[in-house]
Structure 1
C-alpha cells in the first residue's frame, strides 16, 4: 500500500463549513505544547543512551513554537477566507479573537505586576520574587501593549528576569492577528498567495542578512518580520486546502513530503545544527524547513477522514486534552515550573528528580489550565455567541455557551 493511499484524504467543500472542528488538529496542538514543555521544563543530566535521546528531544522542543505559528497561520487564514466578503467580517473576527486571547493574557499581567507585589507586603517569603518582578515591571508597558518581542529585540538579549520571556510568541501572534484580516479581505486569492510566498522568502532573507551582519540571535528569533515564514506557510496550506487543484496535489505529496523533509532536517542537523535553538542553521534555513514540514502535517491532519488511523491517533485524549488547554498551559507553564522547582524534592531519588519535576509541572499546569477554563475563560467565551462568524447561524435550541465551547476548543 503506498503512502498517499494510507493517508486517504476526504473530498469535501471546506468553504461551506468555516467552523468545522477537527479533533486531529487538537492533537497537533497537543504535540506543540508538549514539545514546549520538554524544552522548558525537562532538564536531564548526561547519562546513557535513553538519556541522550531524551535530552536531544528536549533540546529541540523549541520547535513547538514554530508548530504553533504554522497552526495559527493555517486556522486564522482559513477562518478569514471562509468569512471574507460577508457582513461582519472584521468585527466578528476581532471580537472573537479578543474574547479568546485577552482575558487570560491581561489577567496574567495583572497578577504579575499588580497582585504579587502587593502580596509580598504580607508574605516575607515572596520578597525575592517581588524584587525581581519589580525589575521587570519597569518595562511592563511593552507587555501591556503586546510589543514585548520588539523590546527584547531592541535590548539585544533575553530579559534577566525570565518569568515572562515566553510571552514574546504571544506578541508575534497578536501582531499577526491585527494585520492579517485586512490583507486577506483586500487581496485576491492570487494576490494573497503571492503575499504568503513573499513573507516566506522575505523572512528567510532577513534572517540570513541579520545573521551575516552579526545581529544578536534574539533579534532573529523574536521579531514578527523574521518569523512570518511560519505563519505565512500556514496560510499557504490553508489556501491549498480550499483550492480544488492544490488540494489534489497536496493530498498526493503531503505524506512523502513530510517524510522527506523530516529526513532532510535530521540529516542536516547531524552536520550543521538546525534543531539547536539560536544557531546559524536554526536561525536561517531551520525555521523555514520546519514551517514546510509542519505545514504538511497540519494540512494532512485537517484533510484526512476523521476515521482514518492517523486521525484517530492524533485524536487520542492524552494529546487532545493538553491541545484544548494549550493556550492557558503555555501562559502558565514557566511560573508553574518555577513554583515546582522551589519545592523540596529530597525525598525523590536524585536520578529521577528531573523527570519528577517535569511530570509535576505538566500535571499542575494542566490542572491550573482546566480551572482557568472552567471558572474564568469559559464565561468570556460564552459571549462569542453574540458575535457569530459571518454566515454562521446559531440554532434556536442552543444555549449561548455551547458554540463558544466548541470554537474555543479549536481556538478559532
Structure 2
C-alpha cells in the first residue's frame, strides 16, 4: 500500500524556479525567435541566442506539467467552491489588467499591431474567447483556455473529493478518452479533452501522487505513457513552429528538453530538491503569471518603434528587465489587493448559497431571522474529505 507523505510546512520552492524558467523560455521565444517585432531575420540579429530561444515554446509544456502537480496539491481536501474561488482569484485579476493594458498599448501606439474591436476586448475579459471564435487580445492567452478545460475536467474529481484512487482513475480515464478522441480526428470532444496537451497535465498529477504517497509501478507507468505521448505531440508542434521561426531547428532539441522536464519533475516528486529553500524564489515565481500575460504584444510594439534608435542587445535586455519590473508591480499593486477583495466577495456569495440550500432564508420583516448585516459572514466549511491511503491501489 502507498503511504501518504507528510506535507512540509513550507512550499516547494523549486517549483517557483521552474515556473520562472518556463516563463523566461516563452519570453525569449517571442522576443528572439518568433517572427514579429524586428525588421530582419532574428537568426542574424541574435545569432548566439536564437537557436536556444527557438525552443522556448516548450516552456508551455513545462507550465502544464507544473499546473497538474500544483492543482492536485492545492485542491486536496477542498470543495468545489473552494476550488472555483482559488482559480478565479489566481487567474483573473492580473488577466483583466493584461487585457486592458495590451489593448491600450496596441491602440495608442501607431503603426504596429492592429487594434482590437471593443466587443472583442469585452469577450476577452471573460477568458472564453476561444470557444466563441474571437481572436485573443494577446496570442499567449490560448494557454489559459487550456488551463480552464483542465480545471473543468478536474473539478469532477474535486466534487467527489480527492483521493489516491480517484486521481488515478481520472488520469487513466482522461488518457484513454484522449487517445480515442484523437483517433477519431479533431472535434468538440477532442478539443475538450486536449488530446494534444493533456499528457503534461496528467504527468503532473501522477508526479504529485508520487510526491505524496511514494512511487509505485502504476504511477511510473502513467508517467512513462505521458512521456512517450508528450514526445510525440511535442514533435508535432515543433514542425508547426518552423514556419514561425523561419529557420531549421533540429528536432533532437525538443526530445532533450522534454526529457529534462520529466527528469526534473521526477526529482521534485522524489524530494531531490527539498534542500532548495532560497527565500527569493517564491517572490520570483510570483512574477511569472503577469510576465507571461504582458510580455508578448507590448514587447513587440517596443521593438517595432525603438529598434532603429537603440542597440538591439540593449533594447532586448532593457525590455526583458522592464517586463520583470512591470510584472512585480502588477503582482504587488493589482494581484494581491484585488485577489483579497475578490476572495471575500466569492466566499460571501457561496455562503449565501449554502444558507439558501439549508433553508436559512432572511426575511426583512421577520425578527426571528438573522439581521441582513450578518449575511456577509461565511458559513462553516464542510469537513475536508479524508485521504484514502489505506484503501489505495497496491503499491511499492
Q: Which structure dedicates a bigger proportion of its chain to helix?
A: 1
Q: How far apart, in 2, do the equivalents of 1:222 and 1:57 lie?
A: 32
Is the contact between residue 102 and residue 298 of structure 2 (CA under 8 Å) also seen in structure 1? no
Question: Does the C-alpha gap of structure 1 residues 376 and 245 become closer, same or farther in structure 2, counting only changes over 3 Å?
Answer: closer
Q: How far apart, in 2, do the equivalents of 1:249 and 1:221 lie?
A: 26
Q: In structure 1, what is the equivalent of residue 146 of structure 2?
A: 172
Question: Does the C-alpha gap of structure 1 residues 151 and 242 become closer, same or farther in structure 2, counting only changes over 3 Å?
Answer: same
In the alignment, structure 1 residue 39 sits paired with structure 2 residue 29: yes
Gaps of at least 5 residues in structure 2 are 34-40, 244-248, 348-377, 385-396
Which moved further from structure 2: 226-235 or 181-190? 181-190
The normalised TM-score by structure 1 is 0.63
1:203-282 counterparts in 2 under 5 A?
A: 203=178, 206-207=181-182, 210=185, 224-246=194-216, 275-277=238-240
Output one character per residue of 1:35-79: Cα deviation in whole Å (capped at 9) or x when no partner: 10111111473359xx66632221111111111111011110122
In the alignment, structure 1 residue 72 sits paired with structure 2 residue 39: no
Q: In structure 2, what is the equivalent of residue 195 of structure 1?
A: 170
Q: How far apart, in 1, do the equivalents of 2:212 and 2:72 lie?
A: 11
Q: How far apart, in 2, do the equivalents of 1:71 and 1:299 lie?
A: 11
In the alignment, structure 1 residue 61 sits paired with structure 2 residue 19: no
1:135-154 counterparts in 2 under 5 A?
A: 137-140=118-121, 142-151=123-132
Larger of the two Rg values belongs to structure: 2
Alpha-carbon distance, 1:300 to partner: 1.7
Alpha-carbon distance, 1:106 to partner: 2.2
The residue matched to 1:132 in structure 2 has which SS?
Answer: coil
In the alignment, structure 1 residue 327 sits paired with structure 2 residue 289: yes
Is the contact between residue 99 and residue 125 of structure 2 (CA under 8 Å) also seen in structure 1? yes
Gaps of at least 5 residues in structure 1 are 1-11, 393-412
Q: How far apart, in 1, do the equivalents of 2:63 and 2:9 lie?
A: 19
Q: How far apart, in 2, do the equivalents of 1:291 and 1:389 lie?
A: 41
Alpha-carbon distance, 1:306 to partner: 5.1
In the alignment, structure 1 residue 346 sits paired with structure 2 residue 308: yes
The residue matched to 1:102 in structure 2 has which SS?
Answer: helix
Q: How far apart, in 1, do the equivalents of 2:52 and 2:22 lie?
A: 13
Report the RMSD for the aligned CA atoms in angstroms.
Answer: 4.7
The residue matched to 1:377 in structure 2 has which SS?
Answer: helix
Output one character per residue of 1:254-276: Cα deviation in whole Å (capped at 9) or x when no partner: 9xx9xxx79x969x99xx77645
Q: How far apart, in 1, do the equivalents of 2:43 and 2:112 lie?
A: 30
Q: In structure 1, what is the equivalent of residue 334 of structure 2?
A: 376
